[in-house]
């Protein structure tokens, strides 16, 4: 006898769950206790949203601590949170799942940080369809521009508290400008300019401070370079006198470590600040300053 019980195909399950959550009326604003809510795609954006939003805003980081943001897959609950947030805050091109959720559920209440700064192109072999390098937060001057834009968007969305958003944004801008000056001073006179990095996350930092990024992998930290690429990089290290191959905190160091061994140089951690691990006391400023302290001896800066 035919069973008339509703059968849901696995491929339709997320759609069904999203529809059910929408019907329930339980949204991100409820999670924020009635506060304006920002769904931030990953750590540096969540950090900035907290700084600018202040105690009157609930910030949800869609990427859990210690996770590689490029690999993010959203749950149905998170998709609903994006749609019902006061503002979805993201960088297009980092996380396809977030891009899709914003496009379908938050087109009119989102802020793509790329839209308020001048972007750099993706590495030449990945610059399909004019794609931009998304790692803009590694240039404090650009990140300051994003902070101002975020303050203005929050001021428009919550006019009663506009002065607070603008004031906190201005305070963050002052601190980011001071950090920018620290980098400009610290990297002004260096014996070497090449930074050989695990993946191509440091283009903005390199462009801002007169360095040259050489990525072992491209924008995707999980991509595997070919043996030919490893040989090319080994030759470049020998020609330039580079002393260090930089690994990362969240991505596997295996490929970068192999290159360093082939070239006879050491490895050091250079953090692209895509996330922090659970329980860490670091924040954007402390990690950026540690990166500067790592770069200076590696590049022979005085």
The confidence score (pLDDT) of residue 129 equals 59
The answer to whether residues 164 and 127 belong to one domain is yes
Residues 166, 194: one domain? no
The CA distance from 19 to 60, in Å, is 21
pTM, two decimal places: 0.86
| Assigned domain for 10 exists | no
Please say which residue of 119, 154, 182 terminates a domain: 182
User: Per-residue pLDDT tens for 22-69?
Assistant: 444 444 343 566 899 999 999 999 999 999 999 999 999 999 999 989
Asked whether residue 277 falls in the same domain as residue 156, the answer is no
Domain shared by 193 and 170, yes or no: no
The answer as to whether 276 is a domain residue is yes
Residue 230, CA atoms < 13 Å, CB-side half-sphere: 16
Give the pLDDT confidence score for residue 21 in this predicted structure.
46
Long-range contacts of 155-159 (CB under 8 A, 24+ apart): 157/36, 157/86, 157/87, 157/109, 158/36, 158/86
Tokens, residue 40 = 């931030």
User: Does 5 map to a domain?
Assistant: no
Whether 146 and 195 share a structural domain: no
Q: Is 55 among the domain residues?
A: yes
Query: Containing domain of residue 250, as a range?
Result: 189-297
31 and 111 assigned to the same domain = yes
Q: What is the pLDDT along the chain (302 residues), one digit of tens a residue?
A: 333 333 334 444 454 445 444 444 444 343 566 899 999 999 999 999 999 999 999 999 999 999 989 889 999 999 999 999 999 999 998 999 999 999 999 999 999 999 999 999 987 655 455 689 999 999 999 999 999 999 999 999 999 999 999 999 999 999 999 999 999 999 999 999 999 998 789 999 999 999 999 988 765 656 677 788 889 999 999 999 999 999 888 777 888 888 999 899 999 999 999 999 989 999 999 999 999 999 999 999 99
Q: In what order do the strands lie in the sheet with 244-247?
A: 212-215, 194-197, 244-247, 266-269
Q: How far apart are CA 38 and CA 60, in angstroms?
A: 6
């Amino acid at each position: 006898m035919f069973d008339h019980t509703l059968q849901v195909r696995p491929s339709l399950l997320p759609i069904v769950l999203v529809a059910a959550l929408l019907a329930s009326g339980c949204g991100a604003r409820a999670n924020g206790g009635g506060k304006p809510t920002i769904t931030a795609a990953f750590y540096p954006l969540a950090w900035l949203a907290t700084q600018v939003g202040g105690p009157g805003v609930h910030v949800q980081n869609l990427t859990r601590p210690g996770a590689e943001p490029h690999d993010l897959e959203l749950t149905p609950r998170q998709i609903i949170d994006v749609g019902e947030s006061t503002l979805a805050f993201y960088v297009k091109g980092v996380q396809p799942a977030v891009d899709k959720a914003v496009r379908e559920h938050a087109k009119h209440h989102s802020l793509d940080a790329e839209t308020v700064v001048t972007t750099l192109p993706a590495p030449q072999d990945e610059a399909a369809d004019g794609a931009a390098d998304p790692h803009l937060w590694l240039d404090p001057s650009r990140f300051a521009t994003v902070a101002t834009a975020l303050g203005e968007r929050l001021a428009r969305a919550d006019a009663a508290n506009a002065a607070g958003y603008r004031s906190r944004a201005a305070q963050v801008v002052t601190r980011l400008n001071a950090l920018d000056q620290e980098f400009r001073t610290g990297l002004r006179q260096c014996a070497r300019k090449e930074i050989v990095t695990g993946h191509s996350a440091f283009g903005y930092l390199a462009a801002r401070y007169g360095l040259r990024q050489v990525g072992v992998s491209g924008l995707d930290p999980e991509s595997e370079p070919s043996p030919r690429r490893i040989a090319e990089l080994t030759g470049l290290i020998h020609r330039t006198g580079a002393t260090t191959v930089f690994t990362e905190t969240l991505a596997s160091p295996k490929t970068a470590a192999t290159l360093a061994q082939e070239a006879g140089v050491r490895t050091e951690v250079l953090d692209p600040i895509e996330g922090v691990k659970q329980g860490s006391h670091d924040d954007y400023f402390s990690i950026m300053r540690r990166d500067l302290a790592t770069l200076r001896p590696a590049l022979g800066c005085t």
